[in-house]
Amino acid sequence: MAVDPHLLANAIRALSMDAVEAANSGHPGMPMGMADVATLLWTEYLKHDPADPKWPDRDRFVLSAGHGSMLIYALLHLTGYARPTIADIKGFRQLGSPCAGHPENFLLDGVEATTGPLGQGVAMAVGMAIAERHLNAEYGDALVDHRIWAIAGDGCLMEGVNHEAAGLAGHLALGRLTVLWDDNKITIDGATGLSTSEDIEARYAAYGWHVVRCDGHDRADVRRALDAALADPRPSLIACRTIIGKGAPNKQGTAATHGAALGAEEVAAARKELAWEHAPFELPDEIVEGWREAGRRSRGDHAAWRRRLEASADKAEFLRRMAGDLPAGFSLADYIQSLIEAPQKVATRKASEMALEAINAILPETIGGSADLTGSNNTKTKNQKPLTKSDYSGRYIYYGIREFGMAAAMNGMALHGGIIPYGGTFLVFTDYARPAIRLSALQQARVIYVMTHDSIGLGEDGPTHQPIEHLMSLRAMPNLDVYRPADVVETAECWELALRDESGPSVLALTRQNLPQLRTQPADNLCAKGAYRLRAAAAARKVVLVATGSEVELALSVAEALEGQGVGADVVSMPCWERFDGQDEAYRAAILPEGPLLVSIEAGATLGWERYTGRSGLNIGLDRFGASAPAGDLFKHFGFTADAIVPRIVAALKD
Ligand SMILES: Cc1ncc(C[n+]2csc(CCOP(=O)(O)OP(=O)(O)O)c2C)c(N)n1
Ligand SMILES: [Mg+2]
């Protein structure tokens, strides 16, 4: 016999308030307010199989309002996922429990995205919806035919990124996407009326979305809205009018329920109000069985899908792509060999395009794009046609001027699986995308950022466009590999490393200006070690020059000049700090030995180079904003010439 849906929803409410109470920390209001909507969604609409949480054709559910994390922990537990267990939930927000403060994708199956930074969940859901349609275009309905659901709060729909993401979703007509808005008219500071009076429904309609409203506590009305969303070809926003903290009789409807334990007294009152007589964390068998039964709902769909997969000629390739494995034997060696045979003097942004020509021809899983700088970022290759609402099979996305939205969408694509997304803008605008880059890193998502115009070398556009602190600030981010290749060969090597790194994002910092090919001998991937000796001192070694990107060429000319004065100088190219730091002590000491004067040269903030050069080393960089002028004039003006640098080194050697 079917269990009363109110009881199912109250199980979410009870678990949420009890877990927050036990932790004396967390957000009971949102899960209690959205319990009814989520119950209907998860018991009748969401296609998933708790016995196989990675089933590729499952629906994706994103809790964009990540502070309501107890909602998803309760849903996963109740529908029968192996984790979280009740013990995990009892450990909510404590060390060792997968029930972290906010949901983290790598801690629990069924948590498709790490959320909490408001707005980004919606934007990642847009990326997932792009991935779904793209893979559907490639593999057909038999293998790819699912939906993306997101729950967003008032906060998600205030954040700027929701504008970028919703604009893109409307433009691409991503009808598989449904955003359920927890329209409770409350945020932390109080009523939403304190800070906003916009018409969100009109705004979403203007983006080209289907918009429908319902009473989030009236099951029939929520069903009507969900059915309307399913029937409409556009992305849907469902405004669910809810009462935050519903069930807590004295606090519901107020900000007091948003982000604090309700307190023993109010929890007791809520138990009475909900007629929930069970002790904390105790769930009656009949309610658990009701939920488990709902969790088994899609088993038949799953089995039918498995049969279609077995019968599909695409099986092996589809599974390879969904697993994130590169094709067996993937390598850029032939392309790199062609460079050794016929050296090229090109900007590294152009070198990136050349590498991509080779990559995109052999990796069908790449989807490129740019935030309206395609011709400057060199992100589009000849074989890429645009991904549009009339042809989702395209492998190039015109993201428009939406850096944050682009980066978040790329996270969504990478998390969905089957796709390796890369996208470009100017390096200086990583600031616009940074919150999503941070989530790429935290979520261990393979997203490749093609960031061009990487220094004052971009020239006349001036200081607004010239990155200074960007390389260093990106290097400060955990689990992000920052590459700054010095020539066409290093660029290809760095691309290969970025593609091979399944468990994290990479930034490729690339030049606008041409650079000579410095690597002319066949070799293994030297960038893999992060830094390597490009030139060994001829005279007795007194100096080791460490440089990145466009300044490696300069370092070579400085070394030549020093050698002319009888001063032996190594040149170390260091395209990737993170990789170098991962080498053993012997390798690091061989490349950056004790004794010689260590000199860093990079046209950006010097902060941090001391870790390699020591306190007595010399750090040549730029700790002020740039200026508008041709690149050559700027390098001269700011002292990035051998004539300016050699005397500084000679003086330092005398100290
Ligand atoms: C980018 C970002 N800014 C601020 C916060 C802190 N924060 C968490 S929840 C919240 C209020 C969100 O209001 P709403 O989405 O309406 O959630 P509700 O109170 O209804 O649960 C804020 C400001 C955050 N998590 N992310
Ligand atoms: Mg709210």
DSSP string, 272-288: HHTT--SPTT---HHHH
Tell how far the Cα of 185 is from the centroid of ligand 2, in angstroms.
Answer: 5
Which is the closest atom of ligand 1 to the Cα of 159?
1
Q: What is the pLDDT of residues 402-422, one digit of tens each?
A: 999 999 999 999 999 999 999
Token duo for residue 392: 């989702």
Query: For 463, how many CA atoms within 13 A lie in the half-sphere containing its CB?
Result: 7
What does the pLDDT read at residue 2? 85
What does the pLDDT read at residue 1? 55
β-pairing verdict for 186-187 and 190-191: antiparallel
Tell how far the Cα of 223 is from the centroid of ligand 1, in angstroms.
Answer: 27
* Residues 335/338/339/344 CA torsion (nearest 10 deg): -110
**DSSP assignment of 367-410, as one string?**
EEEESS-HHHHT---TTPPBPBTTBTT-SEEE--S-HHHHHHHH
d(C-alpha 337, C-alpha 339), whole Å: 5
CA dihedral sign, ordered 467, 471, 477, 482: positive
Does residue 187's CB lie within 6 angstroms of at least one atom of ligand 1?
A: yes
pTM over 0.95: yes
What does the pLDDT read at residue 435? 98
* Whether the Cβ atoms of residue 135 and residue 418 lie closer than 8 Å to each other: yes
* Whether the Cβ atoms of residue 600 and residue 617 lie closer than 8 Å to each other: yes
Token duo for residue 240: 């669910």
Token duo for residue 161: 């990124």
d(C-alpha 118, C-alpha 100), whole Å: 16
Tell how far the Cα of 116 is from the centroid of ligand 1, in angstroms.
Answer: 8
d(C-alpha 93, C-alpha 412), whole Å: 25
Does residue 188's CB lie within 6 angstroms of at least one atom of ligand 1?
A: yes
What does the pLDDT read at residue 55? 98
d(C-alpha 493, C-alpha 588), whole Å: 20
d(C-alpha 367, C-alpha 395), whole Å: 5
Does residue 69's CB lie within 6 angstroms of at least one atom of ligand 1?
A: no
Q: Which residues contact 395 (CB under 8 A, 6 or more apart)?
A: 134, 360, 364, 366, 367, 368, 383, 384, 385, 387
Residues that place a CB less than 5 A from ion ligand 2: 153-154, 184, 186
Which residue has 């109110």 as its token pair? 6
372 Rama class: left (phi>0) / alpha (psi -120 to 50) / beta: left
What does the pLDDT read at residue 447? 99
Does residue 118's CB lie within 6 angstroms of at least one atom of ligand 1?
A: yes
Query: For 512, how many CA atoms within 13 A lie in the half-sphere containing its CB?
Result: 22
What does the pLDDT read at residue 655? 82
* Residues 240/246/250/251 CA torsion (nearest 10 deg): -60
Q: What is the pLDDT of residues 593-652, one digit of tens each?
A: 999 999 999 999 999 999 999 999 999 999 999 999 999 999 999 999 999 999 999 999
Does residue 620's CB lie within 6 angstroms of at least one atom of ligand 1?
A: no
Distance of CA 386 to the CA centre of its chain: 22
Which is the closest atom of ligand 1 to the Cα of 119?
1
Tell how far the Cα of 124 is from the centroid of ligand 1, in angstroms.
Answer: 17
* Smallest CA separation from ligand 1 atom 16, residue: 154
* Residues 99/110/479/491 CA torsion (nearest 10 deg): -170
* Whether the Cβ atoms of residue 216 and residue 241 lie closer than 8 Å to each other: yes
d(C-alpha 117, C-alpha 63), whole Å: 11
Tell how far the Cα of 582 is from the centroid of ligand 1, in angstroms.
Answer: 37
The torsion angles phi and psi of 555, rounded to 5 degrees, stand at: -60, -35
Active site residues: 403
Q: What residues of the chain score a pLDDT lower than 50?
A: none
Report the residue among 114, 184, 188 best suited for mutation to probe ligand 1: largest number of ligand atoms under 8 A from its CB: 188
Does residue 216's CB lie within 6 angstroms of at least one atom of ligand 1?
A: no
